[in-house]
Amino acid sequence: MKRIDIINLFRTLGKIRTAGITDKAVKSALISAHLKLFRYQKEHDDFLAGLRERFVDQKDVDGANEAYDKYLKEEIEVALEKIDREAFAKAIAETDTDIFLGELTLLEPLFKEEE
């Protein structure tokens, strides 16, 4: 998975309210994924801070953008517990969480393959 996909997945997971989820397997998988992906978000924040320190002049913007683009496209192997789509949909319906359809595509790496 590309680093940008990991960051977007982490951010989308952060919007899900786990308080109303009664399916223990779904809740556990969501919490586990969020905690696991936090590490990559922290690395991302640190990388951006380093870029800001390194590329302080306006003339360095192209170099910073190129380095950031390369960083975001880096492939990372992350093992995530897979969730059944129907179980996820049911669990989300039990909460006060608004998930937009566009965000569902960001959650794709969490879902079990459909048969």
What would the pLDDT profile of 55-84 be if each residue is shown by its tens digit? 777 777 888 888 999 999 999 999 999 999
Q: Which pLDDT band holds residue 51 (cuts at 50, 70, 90)?
A: confident
The Cα–Cα gap between 44 and 3 comes to 9
pTM, full prediction: 0.88
pLDDT value of position 115: 65
pLDDT exceeds 90 at position 109: yes
Could you give the percent of the chain with pLDDT greater than 70?
Answer: 99
Q: How many CA atoms lie within 13 A of 44 on its CB side?
A: 20
pLDDT value of position 56: 72
